[in-house]
Amino acid sequence: MHHFATLAARCLLVLASSTAAAAPPAPQESAPPLALAFSDFFVQPIGPRGVQPTPELLAADGQQVRLVGHMVQREQPQPGQFLLTPRPVTMAEHADGEADDLPAHTVTVVLPPPQQGRIVAHVPGPLALTGRLAFGPAEDATGRVSWIRLYLPDDALAPMASTTPATHRH
């Protein structure tokens, strides 16, 4: 049954990548989402001032973007969100914490408000997601600070097929 939920999640997340965001009408809403790559996030090589955002990342802030990445496989998934990285990552939060495992390019994918209590089953392989990008520090309910977030549209996930209740058992 878990395999079916994972397969359904993968199909629905990939399908979600082609949907437009449910947002108030705006002139650019008819425009296709901006294709953004993880390599567009930060200036390379890293200089003496540390990690610096690129002009592409700054221009994408608040825009609809399409991003392809890998869902982080977490020991303790958080309801209402999951993490997306440029490469596959498995986290052992209980033993190691999360700081050592996550690349600077990590994106927090935020589920739409009606699905904030849900946990998305891990989906292996690359995912193409479309949503509104936000750049800047933001602290979530767990105290984790994210710098890059992708807000999925209301119709991105089916209500029950791709997620399980927050009381989900391992």
| pLDDT at position 97 | 53
Specify the long-range contacts of residues 50-58, CB closer than 8 Å, at least 24 apart: 51/104, 53/135, 57/135, 57/148, 58/135
> Could you tell me if residue 48 is inside a domain?
yes
Please report whether residue 59 resides in a domain: yes
Residue 125 in tokens: 């392989």
> What's the Rg (C-alpha) of the chain?
16
Give the model's pLDDT for residue 140. 85
Encoded amino acid at 37, one letter: A
Q: What is the CATH number of the domain that holds 48?
A: 2.40.50
Give one word for 77, left, alpha or beta, with left for phi > 0 and alpha for psi -120 to 50: beta
> Considering the domain boundaries, does residue 170 fall inside one?
no
Instruction: Check residue 141 and give its pLDDT.
Output: 81
pTM (2 decimals)? 0.73
Write down the pLDDT at residue 156: 79
Structural domains in the chain (count): 1
- Predicted confidence at residue 144, as pLDDT, reads 85
Structure confidence by residue, pLDDT tens digits, 8-27: 344 334 333 333 333 444 44
Q: Which residues of the chain have pLDDT under 70?
A: 1-30, 93-101, 158-170
The pLDDT of residue 166 is 40
The boundaries of the domain holding residue 19 are 2-165
95: in domain: yes
Residues 99-111 pLDDT 10s: 556 888 999 999 9
Say how many C-beta atoms besides its own lie within 10 A of residue 99's C-beta.
Answer: 8
Q: Does residue 111 form part of some domain?
A: yes
